[in-house]
Amino acid sequence: MRLYHSPASPFVRKVTVLLHELGQTDAVTLKTVTTTALASDEALKTANPLARLPALERDDGITLYDSRVITAYLNDLFNGGFYPQNSSRWETLTLEATGDGMMDSGVAMVYETRLRDAEQVSQAWIDAQWAKIERTLFALNTRWISHLSGPLTMGQISVACALSYLDFRHDTRNWRQGNEALAKWHAGFDSRPSMRATHP
């Protein structure tokens, strides 16, 4: 299998962290591409008409895309337990969506300043995206911290990759302030070998 990959993408990192946790890094070849919303890689466009990362080209020629589709597929393929099949399944899926949503907003903030001319940048748009992240951080720090501290799931991986992306691209905003429980959890999770091996 081949994974269209960029080391800076938090969505790609979700997939590579899972591969490390599954012990299956040798099962997938990384094809690193350089792509943006305005200048898509040609090979990526062929594999995924949306031209978004990640995309997983299977050995049968079919390409899967959207990180949640890819992680669910890999979890099933390699008999992982990262999507519980009991009552906690829905919390896991919600946590994964929560992490992905933070990534969406964080990436949107980067695109706003990198892909627009300076006079076109909307500070109101950037502020609105950060407000979404702030609300999410508060929810994770309060309502979700017990779930994050439970058995390892794809929800935890997604949230950890999202928080690490905030460190990578938005470190001056200091997301840890006021979110001490979440910061402590992330510090522990970020020390996992899978996270260290996939640091952008």
**Spatial contact of 82 and 21, defined as CB atoms under 8 Å apart:** yes
All domains in the chain, ordered by first residue: 2-77 (3.40.30.10), 89-197 (1.20.1050.10)
Residue 167 has pLDDT above 90, yes or no: yes
Residue 70 CA to residue 63 CA, distance in Å, equals: 10
Residue 58 CA to residue 102 CA, distance in Å, equals: 28
DSSP E strands, 45-101: 55-57, 63-65
Instruction: Return the higher-pLDDT residue of 99 and 31.
Output: 99
Residue 128 has pLDDT above 90, yes or no: yes
Percentage of the chain beyond pLDDT 90 is: 78
pLDDT band at 178 (very low <50, low <70, confident <90, very high): very high
Digit-coded pLDDT (tens) for 99-118: 999 999 999 999 899 878 88
Full-model pTM: 0.93
Residue 44 CA to residue 53 CA, distance in Å, equals: 8
Mean pLDDT of 166-182: 97
* pLDDT value, residue 51: 65
**Spatial contact of 70 and 56, defined as CB atoms under 8 Å apart:** yes
Write down the mean pLDDT value for the chain: 93
Residue 158 has pLDDT above 90, yes or no: yes
Digit-coded pLDDT (tens) for 34-78: 766 666 767 777 776 766 889 999 999 899 999 999 999 999 999
Dihedral over Cα of 66, 93, 74, 71: its sign: positive
